[in-house]
């Protein structure tokens, strides 16, 4: 199976709402040598973006979108046997959270998974993490990196507030702060203007840039 075929067949399966067919496509692709990074960026990510476009065009319902998201989350989780096969990760620690009221969590999860593959130790908190609680965890665990995600622009002020709160709570000792997600896609200078140290367009680029910036 080629990557193009995998993408097409996976999208058809989630549109049909068949978890079984979707898992079958992923298993076959994996057997044919398509790795986790390719599955994430070449199959799941474009499929979810197509789902968003179809939803926006009123060609599918919110229920269809929820089903596609649930299937994709399950498909990712099934790959964890591969991902976490090695012992405990000894690499740099990263805490990942969706900024405060943000609910789009799949992209951030991909960042964590790709970094886990590269030996990082990641703590994925997912959607809607209250700022105060995130800051408390960051102070306690002292990660090398905090990764914040926002998909829609109304959440950008919450990203800024989170960054400010972390820097205020840990003067001179704040971790590297990375931000990203769809809300940053069209404005290369936005991350810096919000006070972040780094941004990236996708999970593979994020892993590469973080590796350059964090050496342990």
Chain residues that interact with ligand B12, rule: CB under 6 A:
41, 45, 48-49, 51-53, 55-56, 65, 69, 101-108, 110-111, 127, 147-149, 151-152, 178-182, 199-200, 202-203, 206
Q: Please check whether residue 31 is in contact with residue 79, taking contact to mean a CB–CB distance below 8 angstroms.
A: no
Q: Is 31 or 91 the residue whose CB approaches ligand B12 more closely?
A: 91
Residue 49 is inside which H or E element, if any? helix 45-56
Question: What would the two tokens of residue 18 be?
Answer: 């068949």
Residue with tokens 């067919």: 21
Cβ within 8 Å of residue 118, ≥6 positions away:
91, 207, 211
Task: Report how far residue 173's alpha carbon sits from residue 121's, in angstroms, rounded to the nearest whole number.
Answer: 20
Q: Is 1 or 127 the residue whose CB approaches ligand B12 more closely?
A: 127
Q: Whose CA is closest to 96, among 28, 20, 176? A: 176
Q: How far is the CB of 87 from ligand B12 (least distance, A)?
A: 26
Q: Is 127 or 161 the residue whose CB approaches ligand B12 more closely?
A: 127
Q: How far is the CB of 152 from ligand B12 (least distance, A)?
A: 4
Q: Is 88 or 151 the residue whose CB approaches ligand B12 more closely?
A: 151
Q: How far is the CB of 154 from ligand B12 (least distance, A)?
A: 8
């Amino acid at each position: 199976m080629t990557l193009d075929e995998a993408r097409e067949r996976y999208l058809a399966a989630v549109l049909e709402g068949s978890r079984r067919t979707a898992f079958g496509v992923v298993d076959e692709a994996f057997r044919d040598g398509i790795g986790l990074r390719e599955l994430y960026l070449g199959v799941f990510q474009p499929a979810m973006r197509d789902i968003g476009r179809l939803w926006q065009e009123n060609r599918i319902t919110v229920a269809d979108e929820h089903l596609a998201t649930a299937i994709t989350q399950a498909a990712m989780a099934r790959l964890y046997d591969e991902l976490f096969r090695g012992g405990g990760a000894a690499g740099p620690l990263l805490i990942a959270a969706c900024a405060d009221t943000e609910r789009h969590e799949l992209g951030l999860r991909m960042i964590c998974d790709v970094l886990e593959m590269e030996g990082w130790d990641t703590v994925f908190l997912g959607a809607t993490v209250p700022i105060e609680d995130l800051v408390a965890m960051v102070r306690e665990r002292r990660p090398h990196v905090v990764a914040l995600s926002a998909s829609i622009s109304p959440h950008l002020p919450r990203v800024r507030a989170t960054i400010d709160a972390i820097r205020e709570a840990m003067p001179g000792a704040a971790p590297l702060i990375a931000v990203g997600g769809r809300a940053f896609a069209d404005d290369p200078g936005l991350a810096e203007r919000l006070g972040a140290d780094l941004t990236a367009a996708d999970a593979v680029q994020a892993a590469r840039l973080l590796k350059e910036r964090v050496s342990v």
